[in-house]
């Protein structure tokens, strides 16, 4: 969305308007258009847009460039620390939007950032605490695993919930929590299979995840300051993990140095008869992620000078 000019003409089909209208005529002259301004920032003379990620500009004349990425599931460590460039960017943003600098980021979109000498911890402690209170699990006992390994969930067993939106709301918030709690990624993926017709065992399993979160609310992602930019990936698959469809589940996690920057758990779309086929499918997913990361790293001189390559372990 940041790459398109919102001032181009569009046709209104909801009202009786015979001619196209321009968005500026609706919002008024006193409203800035941030999308246009951010797009112009990507087209500075010394920068070009990345092919794999158009929202990340790359330098073309050895000029310092601040990475302005909108990709939300990774936190790049290679942000420039050139103070002059940072001040220049702040001044430019202030001219466009009249911003107010509030200092270091500590809380944003339910993400809590705690700064340390060797890095920073990103967590969602308040969000998890509020979630447990919202669904009445404050007095529940804790558990050491996100799912009960002795319970096999099915889409046809158990009584249907009278209010399915209650379950969907809980799973949706748990899914948002996976931004910093990768340890519940598989559990949330498993519970998401039953959003269409949730049943009582599914809700009980979701409450089990809340009990697990209550066990340690301080967990999060620690982003180190180490110069090691080696990309390391781990992947795995579980053959016929879904009892209803017999489809396998694959998952991966990617590290930049010691810091996790990408992870995913997903049910495969095809039924495979052998574990080898399911494993190759899992590898295919993580390789796609590695290619995206490698292309972005190759455009950064900071990473090129310190990176030792890409490693993948299965």
* Residue predicted with more confidence, 306 or 145: 145
Count CB atoms within 10 A of the CB of residue 314. 12
Res. 78: pLDDT tops 50: no
Res. 17: pLDDT tops 70: no
Which pLDDT score, from 0 to 100, does residue 40 have? 57
Contact assessment for residue 237 and residue 199, using Cβ atoms and an 8 Å cutoff: no
pTM above threshold 0.85: no
Compute the distance between CA of residue 292 and CA of residue 165 in angstroms, rounded to an integer.
36
Q: Do 133 and 204 reside in the same domain of the chain?
A: yes
- Who's near 199: CB < 8 A, 6+ residues apart? 155, 157, 158, 159, 160, 161
Tell me the per-residue pLDDT of 60-74, one tens digit each, with 9 for 90 and over: 544 444 444 434 344
Res. 291: pLDDT tops 60: yes
> What range does the domain containing 144 cover?
125-215
- Asked if the structure places residue 175 within a domain, the reply is yes
- Asked if the structure places residue 221 within a domain, the reply is no
Q: Do 96 and 142 reside in the same domain of the chain?
A: no
Counted domains in the chain: 3
For the ranges 47-56, 145-154, 161-170, 256-265, which has the lowest average pLDDT?
A: 47-56
Res. 288: pLDDT tops 50: yes
Q: Do 211 and 140 reside in the same domain of the chain?
A: yes
Q: Do 170 and 138 reside in the same domain of the chain?
A: yes
- Asked if the structure places residue 118 within a domain, the reply is no
- Asked if the structure places residue 267 within a domain, the reply is yes
* Residue predicted with more confidence, 10 or 143: 143
Contact assessment for residue 281 and residue 244, using Cβ atoms and an 8 Å cutoff: no
Instruction: Average the pLDDT over 158-177 and give the result.
Output: 96
């Amino acid at each position: 969305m940041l790459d398109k000019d919102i001032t181009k003409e569009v046709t209104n089909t909801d009202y009786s308007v015979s001619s196209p209208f321009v968005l500026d005529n609706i919002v008024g002259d006193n409203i800035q258009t941030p999308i246009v301004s951010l797009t112009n920032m990507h087209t500075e003379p010394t920068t070009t847009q990345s092919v794999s990620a158009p929202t990340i500009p790359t330098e073309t004349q050895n000029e310092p460039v601040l990475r302005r990425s909108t990709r939300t599931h990774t936190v790049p460590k290679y942000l420039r620390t050139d103070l002059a460039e940072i001040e220049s960017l702040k001044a430019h943003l202030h001219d466009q939007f009249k911003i107010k600098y509030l200092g270091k980021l500590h809380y944003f979109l339910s993400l809590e950032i705690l700064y340390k000498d060797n890095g920073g911890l990103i967590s969602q402690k308040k969000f998890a605490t509020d979630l447990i209170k919202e669904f009445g699990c404050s007095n529940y006992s804790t558990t050491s695993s996100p799912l009960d390994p002795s319970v096999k969930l099915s889409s046809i067993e158990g009584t249907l919930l009278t209010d399915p939106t209650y379950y969907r709301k809980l799973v949706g918030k748990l899914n948002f929590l996976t931004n910093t709690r990768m340890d519940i990624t598989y559990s949330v993926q498993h519970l998401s299979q039953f959003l269409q017709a949730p049943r009582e065992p599914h809700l009980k399993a979701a409450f089990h995840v809340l009990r697990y979160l209550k066990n340690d609310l301080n967990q999060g992602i620690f982003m180190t300051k180490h110069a090691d930019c080696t990309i390391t990936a781990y992947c795995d698959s579980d053959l016929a993990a879904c009892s209803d469809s017999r489809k396998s589940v694959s998952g991966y996690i990617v590290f930049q140095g010691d810091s996790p920057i990408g992870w995913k758990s997903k049910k495969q779309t095809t039924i495979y008869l052998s574990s080898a086929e399911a494993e190759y499918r899992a590898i295919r997913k993580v390789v796609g992620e590695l290619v995206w990361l490698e292309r972005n790293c190759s455009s950064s001189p900071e990473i090129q000078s310190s990176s030792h390559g890409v490693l993948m372990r299965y």
